[in-house]
Structure 1
Amino acid sequence: MKKFDKERLLLAVAGPVIALVSAIVLTSVVLVASGKNPFEPYRLMLEQIGFSDVQVLIVNQASLYYIAALAVALGFRMNLFNIGVDGQYRLAAVMTAVVGAHLALPSFLQVPMLMLVAMFTGAFWAGIAGVLKVTRGVSEVVATIMLNAIATSLIVYVTQADVWGVQVGNNMTTGIMKKSGWIPGIDLGAGAGEVYGLVFLAVLAGVLYWLVLNRTRFGFDLRASGASETAAAASGVDAKRMVLTAMLISGAVAGLSGLPLLLGDAHTYSLSFPTGLGFTAIGIALLGRNHPGGIALAALLWAFLDKASPALDYATPVAYEKEIATIMQGLIVFAVVISYEAVRQWGLRRQQKKVGAELAAAANGNNNAHKKEVAA
């Protein structure tokens, strides 16, 4: 039985905890500097957890964040920075909405078909950056940033009235999708609202992510290539093939990010469809340390800050700006980078001391054995 490593657990938990505490402290400093109570906003937001409708909003939002963060984490495990998740997710959502509005199949075929459209679109868009990297050496950061801009232009084109766009009031949409592609939610009653039916897709994605990375040869090759391409190549792994494969899978997962909202609530893509999801997912993946469990907690935290912060606008007798939550999210990302590096350095020093102590003990044991032999 594998021995429980308390020190490893401590190192894994220390980074996120330090980042979160640092963000709270720094946000409190900002509140004090602006003449506001540094504790009241946290109390007001925590009170929102007790409302069932806010709980539903948090879970629904977290499902989108979680899938998008898994897409980012897949790239991170390969030492790739897929900053194009936002473009991949939005382009996949608009193409899925277009197909869903113009094609009607039985539900048992329509839903899988729409998922495949989303995955294929996301994979195709991420694959462009992957091909550029393995064939021309173009940084995936530069390529995906440019692809985000191109995706935005394509979405504007697709939603034009003379292409596939349908104007509803002042909003351009892709039209309402066929009902066979809708996925019903879980109605909690009492005015709480519905939990997206595809919340379970997020759970399944997290389980598959862990199984593939930790229990398959492909996952080992991916992690090995991310840690050292040279070492991976020595064991027969084609680094370029792994880069392209990782980008394709990351894009496919990113394509699924918008489906809980698209198939469970909106049923159309419009100008009000959320943007910036992919960039938020980067912070969530960092805070969760690319672990499915850690990412889940980080996604719930981010969703909580998003959905509980509007209560600050209605605080009495003094209202607080809801942007406090945004400041806190930004500070968490900032603190994550610093705290993780500090924890890494501390862990490295601890490991060096441990190895040094073990070598010293072995040397002393050899010396004592030699002395005994000489004495004999």
Structure 2
Amino acid sequence: MKKFDKDRVLLGIAGPGLALVVAFLLTSVVLLVSDRDPFEPYQLMFQTAEFTDVQVNILNQAGTYYLAALAVAIGFRMNLFNIGVDGQYRLAVMLAAVVGASVELPAPLHILLIVVVAMLVGALWAGIAGVLKTSRGVSEVVSTIMLNAIATSLIAWMILPANLGEQLPGSNDLTTGQIAESGWFPGLAMEGGTIYGFTFVAFALGIVYWFTLNRTRFGFDLRATGASESAAQASGVDSKKMVLTAMLISGAMAGLVGMPLLLGQTHTYSLSFPAGVGFTGITIALLGRNNPIGIFFAALLISFIEKTSADLDQFGYEKEIATIMQGLIVISVVVSYELVRQYGLRRQQQKVGEELAAQARKNKEEVAL
């Protein structure tokens, strides 16, 4: 049985814990400098969260963010920085919506078709960055940023009525057409609304993510390649193949990010579909330390901040407080993790020194006897 490492658990909690404390304190300082009450906004946000409809919205948004963070985390575990999740997700959900609106199939097959198309498009778009990295050494950071911009322009062109889009009479919004009811994913009806059915799928994928990384040979090879590409190659792992595979899987996961909203509420893609989800996923993956449980709570936290801050302007507080708070969380995460890492190294060195000293004393006592 694996020995419980108390220090490792405490250090794992200390990083995000310190980041959150610092972020909330700095947000309070910003409010104080702005001549505002530094604590009332938090109280108002918790009061807002008491409404059941807000709770449902928080959970639904958390499911979307959870998928985005998993897509980012897969890359992180391979030492890849997939910044292109946002472009991959929007292009995937748009083409999946087009396909879903153009066919009518029995419910399970219709939903499956939409999901598969989304995963394939996401994987294909991320695979471009993977091929460029493995064949030409192009940094995935640069290529995925560029692919985000290309995806945005491509979507804007494809959704035109002359191409794949539709414009409803009397509306300036462009859509991809309505998906038939057979392509709707059933949800869980609650007092405050409906929890998207795909939200539960999202959380279940966290279990799949954990099992694959920690209990399979593929997961070991992936983590080994991310830790040391040369060492992985020496042990017989094809590092280039693993890089490309990781980008494909990350893109496929990114393709699922829009499914909770598409299959559970809008049933079409339009210009008002949320953007920036992929970048929020980076924040959540960092805060959750690429751990599925940590990512779950981080997704809930970010979703809570967003949904409960929407009405702050009614009380004289700008709702952009949530944006400031999220930005401070990102900065605090980077700083706090480095501080915790350095402390962990010192603590490890101290423990090794203590063990060596204890062994030396034991040897002396044996010699004296």
* TM, length-normalised to structure 1: 0.96
SS at match of 2:309: helix
Could you list the per-position Cα deviations for residues 177-224 of structure 1 after superposition, in whole angstroms to 9, with x for gaps in the alignment? 1221111221113xx111111111111110100000011010011111
* CA–CA distance in structure 2, aligned partners of residues 3 and 165 of structure 1: 58
SS at match of 1:35: coil
SS at match of 2:310: helix
Question: Aligned residue for 2:110?
Answer: 110
Q: Percent identity?
A: 65
Question: Aligned residue for 1:198?
Answer: 198
Question: Aligned residue for 1:346?
Answer: 343
SS at match of 2:2: coil
The one-letter amino acid paired with 2:355 is E
SS at match of 1:284: helix
Question: Aligned residue for 1:254?
Answer: 254
The one-letter amino acid paired with 1:171 is D
* CA–CA distance in structure 2, aligned partners of residues 203 and 171 of structure 1: 32
**Shift of the alpha carbon at 1:363?**
2.3
Question: Aligned residue for 1:11?
Answer: 11
Question: Aligned residue for 2:179?
Answer: 177
Question: Aligned residue for 1:361?
Answer: 358
- Asked if residue 90 in structure 1 is aligned to residue 90 in structure 2, the reply is yes
* CA–CA distance in structure 2, aligned partners of residues 345 and 97 of structure 1: 47
**Shift of the alpha carbon at 1:365?**
2.1
- Asked if residue 231 in structure 1 is aligned to residue 228 in structure 2, the reply is no
SS at match of 1:198: helix
Which of 323, 326, 344 is the equivalent residue of 1:326? Answer: 323
Question: Aligned residue for 1:37?
Answer: 37
Question: Aligned residue for 1:222?
Answer: 222
Question: Aligned residue for 2:298?
Answer: 298
Matched length: 367
The one-letter amino acid paired with 1:20 is L
Contact (CA 8 Å) 2:100, 2:113: kept in 1 or not? Answer: no
The one-letter amino acid paired with 1:371 is A
Question: Aligned residue for 2:101?
Answer: 101
Question: Aligned residue for 2:66?
Answer: 66
Question: Aligned residue for 2:274?
Answer: 274
Q: Which moved more, 1:249-258 or 1:361-370?
A: 361-370
* CA–CA distance in structure 2, aligned partners of residues 134 and 338 of structure 1: 31
**Shift of the alpha carbon at 1:366?**
2.3
The one-letter amino acid paired with 2:349 is Q
1:48-59 alignment, distance < 5 Å? 48-59=48-59
* CA–CA distance in structure 2, aligned partners of residues 102 and 228 of structure 1: 46
Could you list the per-position Cα deviations for residues 219-270 of structure 1 after superposition, in whole angstroms to 9, with x for gaps in the alignment? 0111111111111112111111110000000000000000000011011111
* TM, length-normalised to structure 2: 0.98
* CA–CA distance in structure 2, aligned partners of residues 292 and 362 of structure 1: 39
* CA–CA distance in structure 2, aligned partners of residues 130 and 228 of structure 1: 18
Question: Aligned residue for 1:188?
Answer: 190
* CA–CA distance in structure 1, aligned partners of residues 172 and 362 of structure 2: 82
The one-letter amino acid paired with 2:13 is V
SS at match of 1:194: strand
SS at match of 2:42: helix
* CA–CA distance in structure 1, aligned partners of residues 60 and 159 of structure 2: 26
* CA–CA distance in structure 2, aligned partners of residues 109 and 270 of structure 1: 24
Provide structure 2 residue ranges, at least 5 long, that are not aligned to the other structure.
Answer: none
* CA–CA distance in structure 1, aligned partners of residues 20 and 306 of structure 2: 16
* CA–CA distance in structure 2, aligned partners of residues 73 and 50 of structure 1: 31
**Shift of the alpha carbon at 1:369?**
2.3
SS at match of 1:177: coil
SS at match of 1:50: coil
Could you list the per-position Cα deviations for residues 320-340 of structure 1 after superposition, in whole angstroms to 9, with x for gaps in the alignment? 001111100110000000000
Contact (CA 8 Å) 2:92, 2:255: kept in 1 or not? Answer: yes
Question: Aligned residue for 1:212?
Answer: 212
Could you list the per-position Cα deviations for residues 85-123 of structure 1 after superposition, in whole angstroms to 9, with x for gaps in the alignment? 000000000000000111111112111111100000000
* CA–CA distance in structure 1, aligned partners of residues 85 and 108 of structure 2: 28
**Shift of the alpha carbon at 1:3?**
2.7
**Shift of the alpha carbon at 1:283?**
0.3
Question: Aligned residue for 2:128?
Answer: 128
The one-letter amino acid paired with 2:122 is G
SS at match of 1:187: strand
Could you list the per-position Cα deviations for residues 270-327 of structure 1 after superposition, in whole angstroms to 9, with x for gaps in the alignment? 1100000000000000000000000000000010111000221112xxx100111110
* CA–CA distance in structure 1, aligned partners of residues 360 and 78 of structure 2: 39
* CA–CA distance in structure 2, aligned partners of residues 210 and 3 of structure 1: 20
Provide structure 1 residue ranges, at least 5 long, that are not aligned to the other structure.
Answer: none
Aligned alpha-carbon RMSD (Å): 0.9
* CA–CA distance in structure 2, aligned partners of residues 203 and 149 of structure 1: 29
